[in-house]
Amino acid sequence: MLRVLIVDDEALARARLRSLLAEIPEPMVRVDAEAASAAQALELLRHQRFDLALVDIHMPGRDGMGLARELRALPEAPALVFVSAHEEHALRAFELDAVDYLSKPVRRERLRLALHKTERHLRATRGMQGGAPGQFLGIQDRGRSERLPLEDVVYLRAELKYITVRTAGRSYILEGSLNELEERFGTSMLRIHRNTLVLRQAARALERRRDAQGPRWALRLQGLDEWLSVSRRALGAVRELLGDRS
């Protein structure tokens, strides 16, 4: 049973979501509360635990994005699904660890899929030590937004105005700042060069190599047949990381 909090300043919108949820046979849900503002939602969250918050973005006062940032600081935060008439906010929503993004008017089948995604998300995150939430990157790919688990990423490399997100199987393009990503994922990633972050668990071997620029230190990563340059400044941290594994 998923315990749901609906957050929307429009009573009709809340009633429609409640009606749609009642029409979905599985997964089973229970609307435990409604809030007409972010402030009301936060007050409810201080005294009650929810599995899922269905949150509108455009609301008077603190908007849904602001509420999402507050939710990330809660020790037992509910999964978050945004419900909005404005699709342009989808990428920002996934950067705030939203499980899904529903466009108004919400269709019943689309809501059902969001509930199943929420179930999978809760199984994964609540099974982790300390209940820490999973980490994701919000990716815009072929006109659609998706959440890429950080554990699938091998490295991030800043190139001109974009960041290349490399997995074992393919590459994605991401807008943003490498410094911001390092601040956000610093416990999981290590900067090995001014333009490169690597997943700590993907580091496999450090080697002195020679190329057109002369000798250099390079790092081999799991799942990729390539070596990444390691700056002198980062060399000690990389050696320490690999030494801790031995």
Q: Chain-wide mean pLDDT for the chain?
A: 84
Among all chains, which residue has been given the structure tokens 């057109």? Answer: 212
Cα angle: 149, vertex 56, 82; to 5 degrees: 15
Q: Domain 148-245's class?
A: mainly beta
Q: Domain 2-129's class?
A: alpha beta
How far is the C-alpha of 137 from the C-alpha of 128, rounded, in Å? 18
Q: Which helix (H) or strand (E) holds 144?
A: strand 144-149
How far is the C-alpha of 228 from the C-alpha of 217, rounded, in Å? 8
pLDDT at residue 130, as a whole number? 30
pLDDT at residue 184, as a whole number? 79
Q: Which of 101-115, 132-146, 173-187 has the lowest mean pLDDT?
A: 132-146
pLDDT of 59 strictly over 50 = yes
The CATH 3.40.50.2300 portion of the chain extends over 2-129
Under the banding of pLDDT at 50, 70 and 90, the label for residue 128 is: very low
pTM of the model: 0.53
192, 230 in Cβ contact below 8 A? yes
The CATH 2.40.50.1020 portion of the chain extends over 148-245
Under the banding of pLDDT at 50, 70 and 90, the label for residue 107 is: very high
* Selection from 167, 171, 175 nearest residue 224 by Cα: 167
How far is the C-alpha of 231 from the C-alpha of 246, rounded, in Å? 22
pLDDT of 131 strictly over 60 = no
Does 246 or 224 have the greater pLDDT score? 224
pLDDT at residue 235, as a whole number? 94
